[in-house]
Amino acid sequence: MSLFDRLSVLKNKSEIKLIESKQVVEDKVFEIRHGKLDDIPMTKERKRSEKTRKKLEKHESKVKEKEKRKQQREEEIEKRRIAKEEQEKRDVWIKENVFKIIVNEEGKRIIFCPKCGSENNVTATTWNVDEAENSEDIGTYFKRTCNLCGHSQKFNKDNPKKIYE
């Protein structure tokens, strides 16, 4: 909020207080003279005070909404940034640790170890996990192991996004 906005808000608040204090005195005088306070017609000052109060409330609600939207935008940006960083980490890990599979002209698959670079010297294992503490860990697992250097890669076929080192 700029300085001029703050000053206008303070001015509006002071006008409201001044008008309300005048109105309180008028209400007391009317009550002493005539009895009931509910029958008082709206005076110009009271109308102006109500109008100013409504403007002030509307302005405050707009400011709150603006701040709320700004905070939500920042949260969304932060979530996207975190997701992007996690994806980059995953991509780097995959480049460094995942066995490369290449299909040659004859249609045969050649599997390369990312650590030692050996070709077609890999053992593969598959197993099922039916019970686990974490529900993400349940599923069919697949593991490749290099016979020369011992490097292995394990992943869950049902939840391929999760990385196991």
**pLDDT of 164 above 60:** no
Residue 72 has a pLDDT of: 96
Helix (H, G, I), strand (E, B) or coil at 108: coil
pTM of the model: 0.42
Sign (positive/negative) of CA torsion 48, 49, 53, 59? positive
From the list 121, 155, 157, 137, the residue with the least C-alpha distance to 165 is 155
Residue 67 has a pLDDT of: 94
Tokens at 148, concatenated: 């020369």
Q: What is the pLDDT of residues 44-79, one digit of tens each?
A: 777 777 788 888 889 999 999 999 999 999 999 999
From the list 28, 26, 53, the residue with the least C-alpha distance to 42 is 26
- Directed axis angle between helix 3-34 and helix 44-97, to 10°? 140
Distances (CA, A) of 159 to 92, 105, 138: 19, 32, 9
Q: What is the pLDDT of residues 120-160, one digit of tens each?
A: 877 777 777 777 777 677 777 778 888 888 787 777 766 66
Tokens at 96, concatenated: 């460094």
Q: Which residues of 88-115 are buried (b: 16+ CB within 10 A; e: fewer)?
A: eeeeeeeeeeebeeeeeeeeeeebbbbe
Percent pLDDT > 70 in the chain is 80
Structural domain boundaries in the chain: 3-90, 99-156
Sign (positive/negative) of CA torsion 80, 84, 85, 87? positive
Rounded mean pLDDT, 6-18: 73
**pLDDT of 165 above 60:** no
